[in-house]
Amino acid sequence: MEKFTGKVWVLGDDIDTDIIIPTEYLALKTIEDMKQYGFSPLRPKLAGLIEKGDIIVAGKNFGCGSSREQAPEVIKALGIRCIIAKSFARIFFRNSINNGLLLMEQPDLFDHVREGEEITVMVNSHVSYNGRNYPLASLPENLVEIINAGGLVKAMRVRNGLAG
C-alpha cells in the first residue's frame, strides 16, 4: 500500500477553479508559465511557497466552477502530491483523475489539521496526524487504473493501443 508524508497547506470551502487558475492566465502558453499564478486571487504568494510533495487539505466542494483542465494541471505542476478535502466538485474530480492527480475525501481532517504541519497518508486506508488516524475510503479500481497510468491519455495506451 502506498504511503507518503507531506507538509500541509490548508484552504477553505468552495475553492473554485477561477481561484486555482484565473481566466486571464489561461492564454499563457504552458502550464509551467501558468503555475506561478495558482491560487493568486486568494493567496498571491502561495504558489511560490509550495514545495514538491506538499499536500493540500481543504473543506467542501473543492474545485467547483469551470471545466478548465488547467486547474488540476497547475496543482500537479506545483508539486502537490495529493488533495484531501471534505468533498470535491465533480468535473474537477474527473479532470484530476484524468491527469493523474490523486484526490481523497475525508470529512474530519480539515477541522483539525494546522497549516505547515506534516501528515502521513496511507492510500486507501487512513491519514495519520497528531496521533490520530483519519480513515480514507478505497478508490474505485477503474480510477486507480487511470491514476497509476499517469492519467486517462496514458491509460488509453493500455486499453486502446492509441497512445505512442
User: Which residues sit at the interface with another protein, rule CB under 8 A?
Assistant: 14, 16, 18-19, 22-24, 26-29, 40-42, 60-61, 64-70, 87, 89-91, 94-95, 98-99, 140, 142, 151-153, 156, 160-164
Instruction: Report helix, strand or coil for 84.
Output: strand
- Our CB check for another protein shows the closer of 10 and 153 to be 153
Q: Of 107, 119, 164, 126, which Cα lies nearest the Cα of 1?
A: 126
Find the shortest distance in angstroms from Cβ 131 to another protein.
30
- Our CB check for another protein shows the closer of 67 and 133 to be 67
CA distance 138 to 7: 22
- Our CB check for another protein shows the closer of 40 and 128 to be 40
- Bridge partners of 58? 85
Strand bridging mode 126-129 / 102-105 = unpaired
Find the shortest distance in angstroms from Cβ 135 to another protein.
20
- Our CB check for another protein shows the closer of 31 and 78 to be 31
Find the shortest distance in angstroms from Cβ 161 to another protein.
8
CA distance 144 to 23: 30
Find the shortest distance in angstroms from Cβ 140 to another protein.
8
